[in-house]
Amino acid sequence: MTIENNIVSLKSSKPQKPIEMVSFNRRDIDALMQFYSKRVGTGEWRDYAMDMLKDRAVFSVFARASEVPIYTVHKTPKLANRQGEWSLLNANGLILKRGRDLKQVLKVLDKKPKLIS
């Protein structure tokens, strides 16, 4: 019985670059969770999701866990010098607000409708 020795050199393979992804920092998460918790307390929102992608980070809000998100907050650092890195989109993909400050962008959802008589 013969045993063949197969030696594989690991030095010859190219090292893989780690995939860089955009993520939320601690202040971003604090602001998002503070705003989210207010709406959970009123029963409007039930679930959320965070996605870290190559070009942006997305915070999605759901009315029910099995549905599509009713709002998404996008952090796109590439747009920081133009319209601002933050954008708030509704379920149809319509941009409700863009800006450089997350709290200012989220204030759009705080506005209550006024009764017109």
**What digits encode the pLDDT tens for the residues 41-82?**
888 888 999 999 899 999 999 987 777 899 999 999 888 888
Whether the CB-CB separation of 74 and 57 falls below 8 Å is answered with: yes
In a domain, 92, yes or no: yes
- Predicted local distance difference test score (pLDDT) of residue 80: 81
Helix (H) or strand (E) holding 106: helix 102-106
The number of folded domains in the chain is 1
Does the global pTM surpass 0.85?
no
Cα separation of the two ends of the chain? 96
Whether the CB-CB separation of 71 and 59 falls below 8 Å is answered with: no
Distance CA 79, CA 56 (A): 10
Mean pLDDT of 13-30: 81
Domain that holds residue 94: 26-108
In a domain, 86, yes or no: yes
- Predicted local distance difference test score (pLDDT) of residue 3: 60
Task: Give the model's confidence band at 12: pLDDT under 50 very low, under 70 low, under 90 confident, else very high.
Answer: low
